[in-house]
Amino acid sequence: MIYLDSAATSYYRPPQVADAVADAIRHMGNSSRGTYEAALNTSRVIYQTRCLLDELFHGDGPEQIAFTMNSTESLNMAIKGLLSPGDVAITTVLEHNSVLRPLYEMEALGVELKVIDCDADGVLDYESMKDAITQGADMVVCTHASNLTGNLTDIRRIGGWCRERDVLFLVDASQTAGIFPIDMERDCIDVLCFTGHKGLMGPQGTGGLCVRKGVNIRPLLSGGSGIKTYSKAHPVEMPTALEAGTMNGHGIAGLRAALLYLKEEGAEQLRQKEQDLAWEFYSKVKEIPNIRIYGDFSTKERAPIVTLNLGEEDSGMVSDYLAMECEIFTRSGGHCAPLLHQVFNTVEQGSVRFSFSHFNTEEDVAAAVEGLRKYEEC
């Protein structure tokens, strides 16, 4: 079996991640709900994980890391907790539905929404973005890398424009957290939303927000917090303000193990291998007749994603063939990126996405290319 769908979720993970989750299930108590050792150990693991994430993203301190179950929850929390009727929000056609749908809901409540276009290769129109920010906005929300094309967005450039105009900058790092360097201070990011189950290689059901000090998000949830029991209002201090109820301590323990692995191995080294594999695949697959590849491949500095179609073939048929005949697992369809599919005129056809992990090999690349050749010859 060859797994080439790491942009959806990590399948290959360091073994210590599973070990940490299993150990946590056997021994963890509930953080902030007791002073006995099992509860205190849970609090320590969660705090250590906050510290590792704060170090990774160059945040404003571990207390500014709030855990969620994934990027979708983080993005909903930030978008709905920061925007109000009458505000102006800017986003792009590159976005995942986890950004677009909350924004559409806020638009229905009275938020003005501006969507910035891209070129034929899915590269953002930066001049239009700058103009929109200059005209006035309350928030810019954009992805760091497209989950469809792998194109990187120049978040430092956009963040600088936002900081000059006192515009909140919210970044979706679903495809880049753990793979590409992110510096919240230098990139002028106010809220960074991430998931734990992709590039960070943690368990599903883990994610979070890194929030700059001074940015106050209205919480989506209120309830038990382990502190201030007799207050009618949920605590406003971070991170408790955004963490009502029992957290996924078992998953966070696995995420901690994954973060330690990344720190030990070096994210840059792992990213280089992933990019090398994706580039090798691209270089070989582009020679197949009738192949259409989407995205900007003028640079190797991109997420390890190659998305394509074989002529007019339905993307689901191609992906199913690879799975059933070659045991190569990819993703087909719309990839939750409806506006970008409109740009590529692939709304009906969808596309086949190949996404790589540093656990993949050159043999996996060769097999994937051969599988597409066999399908093309059928």
| pLDDT tens digits for range 276-317 | 999 999 999 999 999 999 999 999 999 999 999 999 999 999
Rounded CA Rg of the chain: 21
CA–CA separation, 242 and 16 (whole Å): 29
C-alpha–C-alpha distance, residues 201 and 263, integer Å: 12
Best CA proximity match to 199, nearest among 254, 265, 270: 270
Residue type, 362: E
Percent of the chain surpassing pLDDT 90: 89
CA–CA distance, 311 with 299 (Å, rounded to integer): 25
DSSP 95: -
Residue 229: pLDDT band by 50, 70, 90 thresholds? confident
Name residues whose C-beta falls within 8 Å of residue 165's C-beta, 6 or more positions apart in sequence: 133, 134, 136, 137
| Position 75, amino acid | L
Q: Name the CA dihedral angle for 42, 213, 243, 235, rounded to a multiple of 10 degrees.
A: 110
Cα–Cα dist 293/83, whole Å: 37
Residue type present at position 239: P
Q: Look at residue 26 in the predicted model and tell me its pLDDT.
A: 94
According to the model, what pLDDT value does residue 227 have?
73
Calpha distance 252→203 (Å, rounded): 8
| Mean of the per-residue pLDDT values of the chain | 96
Confidence check: pLDDT of 194 > 90? yes
58 class by beta-carbon count within 10 Å (0-12 exposed, 13-18 middle, 19+ buried): middle
pLDDT value at 36 more than 80: no
Res. 224: pLDDT tops 80: no
pLDDT band at 121 (very low <50, low <70, confident <90, very high): very high
Please report the pLDDT score of residue 130 as a whole number: 98
